[in-house]
Structure 1
Amino acid sequence: MELLYIFLGFTVGILSGYFGIGGGFILTPVLMLIGYAPVVAITTSLLYAIGSSVSGVWAHFKMNNVVWKTAVLLGLSGVVATQFAKPFVLWLERNGFDETIIPILYALIIGYFAYSLLKKPDKKITVKMVESGLLKIIIIGFIGGFLSATLGVGGGFVMVPLMISIMGIESRKAVGTSLVSVLMIVTAGFISYAVTIDIDYLLGFILVAGALFGGQVGAKLTSFYSNDQIKKYFGLLYITTLVSILFELFNLDIAGISTLGLYMIILLGKFTKDLIQRRHQKSLS
């Protein structure tokens, strides 16, 4: 069973590094589908997101994919927002709303961002323009932080598409910048939960072990694909996750896990195929 969790951590870590998400966006629904209570799934996913974000940040830093001023402002705004989210989540749990409201929130948010990524074109923008949008940055960071602590995600699954669609940042820069702010947000979110919520730390660290390697692989993969391709795959990931959550709401957990797992296998298969083809072409040249 431990090997299965390591593989899950590695796989989600690849997607984390590739899409600029903490990984909880995928892991939280998976843990809930497996049978973990929402608040436990949220706390475990935040712990996982710390490890996956550290790995991804280092890789994107080396590739110069981070707009640092924007990243820090997003992170600070997000950290503040996490402190508003925790009481909301605990209130949902006390009143028995967590197993319904949290999946519905996921479905609504994911549906919106899937549409925005697949339908809206990138806007042209420079780093100077990005840094001047202070209010936009603060609002995006706050939204990311609130949803991070509410849904057990890194916040990148919200901030990346918002940075692309509203601020017009190119996909690679949005991914690298997001991961820095995600690291700040998930650390604050996890600490706020960990003092009151009991989780399986062994499971968490096993998942993190896989993420540390997967995040490096995912970040390097971004250099092999265009910004439009990254956007397209991200949008398709949202749609697949949305379908899996809808299955969960109707108590079709096996169908939900199978749907998400199938997309991950197909995407990782494509990554592997493309890498093999690139190496073959390089050896011939």
Structure 2
Amino acid sequence: MEWTLIAVGVVVGGMSGFFGIGGGTMLVPALIFLGFDIKTAIGISVTQMVFSSLYGSWLNHRRGHLNLKEGGLIGMGGFLGALGSGWLLKIVPDIVLETAFVGVVGFALYRFFRSPAEEDPNQEHDLAPWVLFAVGAVIGLLAISMGIGGSILLTPILVGLLHYPLKKAVSAGLFFVVFSSVSGFISLSMTGHIDYMHGIVVGVASLFGVQAGIWLASKTGNKKHKNALIVLYAVILALMLKKIFLG
């Protein structure tokens, strides 16, 4: 079992580093397939996200792809927005949340697709702090209400709507996961839903994958990297549409 978990951790870490995502979208189903119950799988996934997002963000910062000030504003907005997720779930029907999620992802994906892939990664974008904070808050509110980390929403919005450089947007997406995963880890630890042993095994293994994924992303041209992201987002959007219409 341990070697299987190590292999899964490396693969998920690689996708996390390359796409700038937490990895829970792939890890939770994989753990359930291996025999873990859903709550234990979520706890292991959150633990893995803490490892991969912290290490990946450090690597991205060293490469000059992560602006800590801007990423911090987005992350703090997301953290506060997520605090309202419980209230939102109480007053808004599931179908409304799911439709809103599909609408935001669909529109952002369209703008992401239309944005130039070869934009200068060193070009500065003077985005007001309140804009970054507000974007993080909205994503945190919607994403946590849907049970996802938020980077899936953040990257296409940064690139497609705010004209953020692709590599920096991917790095900001992974940094966003730091805030949500640490918050989730603390919450799940307090309620006894963390399997520390298996979580650490998967988390440590994911570090090797993260390093490989970030290295691969740095060697991948913007156009190919963008196309890979579009495929990932399109698959997620299709799965959400299936859930809405087919249950």
Please tell me the TM-score bracket, short chain as reference. Answer: 0.7 to 0.9
SS in 1 for 2:170: helix
More helix by share: 1
Evaluate the alpha carbon distance shift between residue 109 and residue 129 of structure 1 in structure 2; reply closer, same or farther with a 3 A threshold: closer
C-alpha contact 1:45 1:153 (8 A) present in aligned 2: no
Provide the C-alpha distance between the structure 1 equivalents of 2:96 and 2:193, rounded to a whole number of angstroms.
22
Equivalent position of 1:195 in the other structure: 190
CA distance in 1, matches of 2:42, 2:53: 16
Q: 1:207 to 1:114 in 2, by over 3 A?
A: farther
Pairing of 1:214-253 with structure 2 (within 5 A): 214-243=209-238
Q: Compare 168-177 and 187-196 and name the one that shifted more.
A: 187-196
CA separation in 1, counterparts of 2:86 and 2:39? 10
Give the letter aligned to residue 17 of structure 2: G
Q: Which amino acid aligns with 2:9?
A: G
What is residue 150 of structure 1 aligned with on the other side?
145
Alignment TM-score, normalising by the size of structure 1: 0.70
CA displacement at 1:37 relative to structure 2: 6.2
CA distance in 1 between counterparts of 2:14 and 2:163 reads 24
Q: In the alignment, what sits opposite 1:83?
A: 83
- Choose from 92, 112, 118 the match for 1:117: 112
Q: 1:245 to 1:159 in 2, by over 3 A?
A: closer
Residue 9 of structure 1 corresponds to which residue in structure 2? Answer: 9
Matching of residues 134-173 of structure 1 within 5 Å: 134-173=129-168
Tell me the residue number matched to 2:45: 45
Match of 1:272 in 2: none
Distance 1:8 1:105 in 2: 32
Task: State the Cα RMSD in Å.
Answer: 3.5
CA distance 1:209–1:247, shift in 2 (3 Å): farther
Deviations 1:55-92 (A, max 9, x none): 21122122111112211101111111222225656x69
Comparing 140-149 with 12-21, greater Cα deviation is found at 140-149
Q: Matches of 2:157 and 2:115 in 1, distance apart?
A: 11
| TM-score, length of structure 2 as denominator length | 0.79
Confirm or deny: 8 A CA contact 1:14 1:211 kept in the other structure: yes
Contact 1:13–1:52 (8 Å) recurs in 2: yes
2:201 corresponds, among 188, 206, 211, to 206
Query: How many angstroms apart in 2 are the aligned matches of 1:9 and 1:3?
Result: 10
State the Cα distance separating 1:39 from its structure 2 match. 5.5
Q: Which amino acid aligns with 2:60?
A: H
Contact 1:53-1:183 at 8 Å conserved across structures: yes
Give the structure 2 partner of residue 129 of structure 1. Answer: 125
Tell me how far 1:183 sits from its aligned partner.
Answer: 0.9
Letter in 2 for 1:134: P
Q: State how far apart, in whole Å, the 2-side matches of 1:2 and 1:36 are.
A: 13
Contact kept in structure 2, 1:65 and 1:173, CA below 8 Å: yes
Instruction: Tell me what 1:176 maps to.
Output: 171
Residues matched between the structures, number? 244
Cα distance change, pair 195–161 in 1 and its aligned pair in 2 (3 A): same
Q: Which moved more, 1:220-229 or 1:148-157?
A: 148-157
Single out whichever of 143-152 and 233-242 deviates more from structure 2. 143-152
**What CA distance in whole angstroms lies between the structure 2 residues aligned with 1:40 and 1:245?**
23
Alignment of 1:28-39 (within 5 A): 28-31=28-31
Label 1:153 to 1:9 Cα distance change in 2 as closer, same or farther (>3 A).
farther
SS at match of 1:18: helix
1:63 paired to 2:59: no
240 and 30 in structure 1: CA distance in 2 versus 1, 3 angstrom threshold: farther
> Any idea what SS the aligned residue of 1:129 has?
coil
* Counterpart position of 1:274: none
Q: Kindly state the Cα deviation for residue 128 of structure 1 after the two structures are TM-superposed.
A: 4.6
Secondary structure class of the residue paired with 1:144: helix
Amino acid paired to 1:137? L
